[in-house]
Structure 1
Amino acid sequence: MEKMSTKDKILYLLKRQSRLSVGELTKCLHITDMAVRKHLSILEKEKLIYSVEVKQPIGRPIQKYILTKNAELLFPKSYEGLAVEFLKDIEAMYGEESIEQLFQNREKRLTNEYKVRLENKSPIEKIKELKTIQNEKGYMADVAKIGTNKYELIEYNCPILAVASEYKVACHCETSLFQKVLQTEDVKRTSCKTEGNDHCRFLIGF
C-alpha cells in the first residue's frame, strides 16, 4: 500500500473496512486530520465517497465515509455484466443443469491450477499461498490466525459479484474448491457479499 497515492489508500481502506471516520483514517494513514479532510472533500466532489451520521452510545454522532457505486467500479469486476448475460442465454437454451455443469467445470480447472501451487506445503503455507492466488485474481484477500490450526480468510472484493448474486452455485463451488486444495473438509463460509454482507469470510481448520 506504500506506493499508492493517498487518494487510492483511502479508497482501499474504505473497501476493506466498509466505513471509516476521519479519526480512523488519520490513524491508518499517519497524516494530519486536515490532510484527511482535504482528500475526503475531493473524493466527495468526484462522487467516489459519501458520508453518513453514526450515533454513538455517548456524545455526538460522528461522520463515517462509505464508497459509492462509482468507486466500486474502480475495483476488479472481470466484465461480470457481460458474463451474466451470456450465462442467462445458455440457461435459456440448455436449462439450469448446464449452468451447474459450467461452474463445476470451472471448479475442476481452478482446483488443478491451485493444487500445483499448494502441493507439498504445510497448512500455514497453503493458507498464505491461497491468499496470494486470490489476490492475484482480484479478491483483495487477507488471512488471520484465530486459534490453534484455525484461520479466517477474508475476501474484501468479489470480481464476479454480479454472477455470484445471480447464480449462488458460484459461491458453493468456491467453498468446495478451498476444501479440495487445502485438503480439509473444515471450510465454512460465514459471510457472503451476495447476501448483503460487507465481505466474504471463511473459517478454515486443519
Structure 2
Amino acid sequence: MKDELDLSTRNKIMQMIKTSGELTTKELTDQLGITGMAVRRHISILERDNLIESNTVKLPMGRPAAVYRLSAEAEDYFPKNYHTVALDLLAELEGEAGEPMVNHLFDRRKTTLMHRYEGKMRDKDLERKVAALSEIQNENGYMATWEKNDDEYVLTEYNCPISQVANKYNHACNCELNLFESLLEADVSRTDCLAKGDKKCVYRIRPR
C-alpha cells in the first residue's frame, strides 16, 4: 500500500511540474501538503530515474533554491496519440490520392530505412547481421531478441510501435519484411504478426 501511495505522490509531482513548468521544493511541499523531507525523498527518486532535473536560481528573498523541471525522458511518461494522428493523415491521403499512394509512402519509408541502416550490415556475416538488426529494432522500441535454431535464425519482436497503423495498412508489414530481406540478404518469412492479433512478430531467417 505504501509503495502505491509513494508512486501516486510521484505521479502528482510529475503532473504538477508538467502544468507549472518549474517548481521549487517549497512550492511542491505547499501544494502537496506533506513534509519537505518526504518531497525531497520523492524528488531524489525522480532524479535517479531521469524523470526530472534541476538548476539553482536566485529568489527575490532568501537563499538560492533548486527549481525542478521535467527531463526530456519524462515526455515518454505522458500519453501520446501519435498513431491517431498518423492514421488520420493516412486516411486523408488515401481519400485524396487512393490506397496506391499510401502504399507508395510505405515503400518510400522502406527505401529510406534501407539507406539509413545498410552501413551497419556491411562486411558482416548473416549471424552478425541478425544481431545488428535486433539492436536496430530495439533502439526503435520493438523489444527484439534473436536466436539460432539449427539452420535458421529467429528474430522475435514483442512490441510494435506502429501496430495501430499496420493493423489498418497491411502494406506496412510487407515493407518491413522486404526491408529485412534486403538488409540481411537472406530469405525471411514471418510466422507471427502483432498487427494480426498474435502476441509477437516472429521472423525466420535462412541463408539464400
Residue correspondences, number = 133
CA distance 1:197–1:77, change in 2 (3 Å): farther
- Name which one, 1 or 2, has greater alpha-carbon Rg: 2
CA distance 1:78–1:190, change in 2 (3 Å): farther
- Which residue pairs with 1:157 in the alignment? 159
**Normalized against structure 2, the TM-score is what?**
0.60
- Which residue pairs with 1:95 in the alignment? 98
**Secondary structure in structure 2 of the residue aligned to 1:98:** helix
- Which residue pairs with 2:206 in the alignment? 205
Q: Distance in 1 between matches of 2:81 and 2:134?
A: 19
**Secondary structure in structure 2 of the residue aligned to 1:102:** helix
Structure 2 unmatched runs, 5+: 1-6, 8-75
Amino acid at match of 1:141: A
Q: Distance in 1 between matches of 2:130 and 2:137?
A: 11
- Which residue pairs with 2:29 in the alignment? none
**Secondary structure in structure 2 of the residue aligned to 1:114:** helix
- Which residue pairs with 1:138 in the alignment? 141
Amino acid at match of 2:201: C
Higher mean displacement: 77-86 or 152-161:
77-86
- Which residue pairs with 1:47 in the alignment? none
- Which residue pairs with 1:49 in the alignment? none
Amino acid at match of 2:196: E
- Which residue pairs with 1:188 in the alignment? 189
1:50-129 mapped onto 2 (5 Å cutoff): 79-129=82-132
**Secondary structure in structure 2 of the residue aligned to 1:203:** strand
- 1:130 offset after TM fit, Å? 0.2
Q: Distance in 2 between matches of 1:159 and 1:129?
A: 19
**Secondary structure in structure 2 of the residue aligned to 1:139:** coil
1:179 aligns with 2:202: no
- 1:163 offset after TM fit, Å? 0.3
Structure number with higher relative contact order (C-alpha < 8 Å, ≥ 6 residues apart):
1
Structure 1 unmatched runs, 5+: 1-6, 8-72
Amino acid at match of 2:109: R
**Secondary structure in structure 2 of the residue aligned to 1:201:** strand
For the 8 Å contact 1:77–1:161, the answer to whether it is kept is no
- 1:78 offset after TM fit, Å? 8.1
Q: Distance in 2 between matches of 1:78 and 1:141?
A: 23
Q: Distance in 1 between matches of 2:195 and 2:163?
A: 7
Q: CA RMSD in A?
A: 2.2
